[in-house]
Amino acid sequence: MKSRELDAPSRAADRAAGPQNQGAAFVRQCLALTEMEMRKLRHDPTELVTRALQPMLWLAVFGEVFSRVRAIPTGGSLRYLDFLAPGVLAQSVLFIGIFYGIAVIWERDLGIVHKLLASPAPRVSLVLGKALSGGVRGLTQGFAVYLLAWILGVGIKWGPGDLAGVALAILLGAAAFSTLSLIIACIVRTRERFMGIGQLLTMPLFFASNAIYPISIMPGWLRVLARLNPLTYEVDAMRALMVRGGSTIFGMGFDFAMLLVSSVVLAAIASRLYPNLAR
Amino acid sequence: MNILETHALTRRYGDLTAVDGVDLSVSQGEIFGLLGPNGAGKTTVIKMLTTLLPPSGGRAVVAGFDIQRQPSRVRQSIGYVPQLVSVDGTLTGYENLLIFAKLYGVPRSERQARISSSLEFVGLQDAANRMVRGYSGGMMRRLEIALAMLHLPKVLFLDEPTVGLDPLARQLVWQHINSLAGEFRMTVFLTTHFMEEADHLCDRVAIMNLGRVAALGQPDELRASMAKPEATLDEVFAHFTGHQLDNGGDFREISRARRAIARRG
Ligand SMILES: Nc1ncnc2c1ncn2[C@@H]1O[C@H](COP(=O)(O)OP(=O)(O)OP(=O)(O)O)[C@@H](O)[C@H]1O
Ligand SMILES: [Mg+2]
């Protein structure tokens, strides 16, 4: 038994750290964090079910009623319910992402954040791992919204390219909002303050977007806000990809570029701030 | 060769100097104890050595790497058990280990073997597939030790490893810490308020008070340095810090232990 592990080749510090090795390690570390979240969900999937209820209410109640009264012009030939479905999907991804910081604050009140930050995983990989798991949660919302929208007779595009595009938009949107949430968590640090800010932020993000009405009917100041809001680009891309007859206003390439840029910028800020949580 | 050295290590929080010019050196394979009352600066020292907190002054070298210039090399060489509970109650013991094995880059071919030998080392193989929130305080601490040794670090930092544990659980943790140094040749750097613990475990101790090292040496040497030759280590501690140790713990410690217990639910 004495010194049985001493000669083992596995002391982490002694292993070679070539550039490919580092790339592979980075991906593995990201995925390890995502896996951590997925395993938690598998133990307790109730969260996914309760989360799916809200978009269902929006579609089945709000959507159905406003389709009937035709109070909101869709800016094109789309039925209101068809116009709304991508907006509701994006909204549910936003809600999942924006409250992500709560989990991070919980991990900080325990010593989990400390241990993650004292591990060799680069800060960026920790942040991206979290962002990706937000995306996977978002995809589960996608299933729920697609299912209900289909039952309600929304004209859904089932092409594999369209579905993949929506999945990518969900992943990027979730990444942007969960990293935004992480940034807020790093700044406010306590659960109570976070809840306050989270509530304060979600509604403006939601209403200052094209999720439930087109930008064309907004007053000028709101248009400016909507153009700065990543949710707008997520919805705009999804509207063309998810429903028959839907189209983008800003162009698919521009939408995805904006989503990517906001995710990258937010992830860069979050990786800078994340170490503060352990101080 | 010293595996850990600090030179005038200092950390200020605003006007408060939490750690004030600390010089320490620890040699390979040693169990080194940092003793001190609440607020002495023990956790702050550990946070700097584990690269979580940048020093305000001075420098430190851990496993041959400078904590400020080569933080990622330092992180590869260390294991860390924070003062707070640091296992995830919503995962099983095995899953906690699996995630950290991946984060630490334990190669796939060795992963399962490392995980089972860590579990076996702390005697948790039978509880491996249970959710951690159902573990006792002692089992959680042992899981944390298993997590921290999984990648066979050169230096292991343990911040108050036995706080809140009953005497039996404490004994068990002591055993594990002893064999980490003996069997695995790890260097262990731990903090504690318990003299008995320091006496039992540590090759050398530094007694800290108000951010400074008040005394440094082997427990026996410190006892010998007192005027009274039959002094207990508790008396040594009181002599160097001006604190009377009350083993009932103060409000802060108790509320912390309670919080830790409440969090498991
Ligand atoms: N983030 C912080 N901001 C301001 N002051 C801090 C911070 N962290 C610690 N301190 C202060 O620094 C001093 C040293 O704290 P530290 O946690 O290192 O003590 P400790 O010896 O670990 O105490 P304990 O036995 O209670 O764990 C204390 O006075 C504490 O209040
Ligand atoms: Mg402490």
Query: Judged by CB atoms within 8 Å, which residues 83-142 of A form the interface with B?
Result: 107, 109-112, 114-122
Testing ligand 1's pocket by substitution, the residue of B10, B11, B12, B16 carrying the most ligand atoms inside 8 A of its CB is B16
How far apart are the C-alpha atoms of B214 and B222, rounded to whole Å?
11
pLDDT at A225: 95
Total Cβ atoms within 10 A of residue A45: 11
Query: What's the token pair of residue B163?
Result: 């706080």
CATH number for the domain harbouring residue B118: 3.40.50.300
pLDDT digits (tens, 9 = 90+) for B82-130: 998 899 999 999 999 999 999 999 999 999 999 999 999 999 999 999 9
Q: Three-state SS string across A195-228, please?
A: HHHHHHHHHHHHHCCCCCCCHHHCCHHHHHHHHH
How far apart are the C-alpha atoms of A186 and A123, rounded to whole Å?
13
Residues of A in contact with B151 (CB under 8 A): 10-12
pLDDT digits (tens, 9 = 90+) for A40-79: 999 999 988 888 898 989 999 988 888 888 778 887 778 9
Testing ligand 1's pocket by substitution, the residue of B10, B19, B22, B44 carrying the most ligand atoms inside 8 A of its CB is B44
pLDDT at B133: 95
> B168 in a domain, yes or no?
yes
pLDDT at A165: 98
Nearest CA in chain B to A39: B91
> B14 in a domain, yes or no?
no
Testing ligand 1's pocket by substitution, the residue of B13, B19, B159, B163 carrying the most ligand atoms inside 8 A of its CB is B13
> B62 in a domain, yes or no?
no
Interface confidence, given as ipTM, is 0.89
* Residue that is written with structure tokens 């530094």 in the block: B206
Distances (CA, A) of A257 to A216, A243, A271, B45, B106: 22, 21, 21, 45, 36
pLDDT at A227: 95
Take atom 4 of ligand 1 and give the residue whose Cα is closest: B13
> B113 in a domain, yes or no?
yes
Nearest CA in chain B to A113: B86
Query: What's the token pair of residue B76?
Result: 């590869």
> B19 in a domain, yes or no?
no
Asked whether B40 lines ligand 1 (CB < 6 A), one says yes
Residue ranges with strand state E in A58-177: none
User: Does the pTM exceed 0.80?
Assistant: yes
pLDDT range class, residue A223, cuts 50, 70, 90: very high
Q: What single string gives the DSSP state of each residue in B160-208?
A: STTTT--HHHHHHHHHHHHHHHHTT--EEEEEES-HHHHHHH-SEEEEE
pLDDT at B238: 80
pLDDT digits (tens, 9 = 90+) for A183-201: 999 999 999 999 999 888 8
Q: Which phi and psi (to 5°) does residue B209 adopt? A: -150, 135
pLDDT at B142: 95
pLDDT of B77 above 90: yes
Strands B57-62 and B2-13: antiparallel
Domain count within chain B = 1
Domain range for residue B220? 29-50+72-264
Does the distance separating the beta carbons of A114 and B152 come in below 8 Å?
A: no
pLDDT at A17: 53
Residue ranges with strand state E in chain B: 2-13, 16-27, 31-35, 57-62, 65-66, 78-81, 155-159, 187-192, 204-209, 212-217
> B254 in a domain, yes or no?
yes
Nearest by Cα to B214 from B179, B181, B185, B243: B243
Give me ligand 1 centre to Cα B235, in Å.
Answer: 24
Give me ligand 2 centre to Cα B70, in Å.
Answer: 25
How far apart are the C-alpha atoms of A56 and A48, rounded to whole Å?
13
pLDDT of A247 above 70: yes
DSSP state of B212: E
CA A190 to chain B, closest CA, distance in angstroms equals 15
Say which of A12, A36, A40 has its CB closest to residue B151: A12
Nearest CA in chain A to B71: A120
What's the mean per-residue pLDDT of chain B?
89
Does the distance separating the beta carbons of B76 and A32 come in below 8 Å?
A: no
> B58 in a domain, yes or no?
no
> B244 in a domain, yes or no?
yes
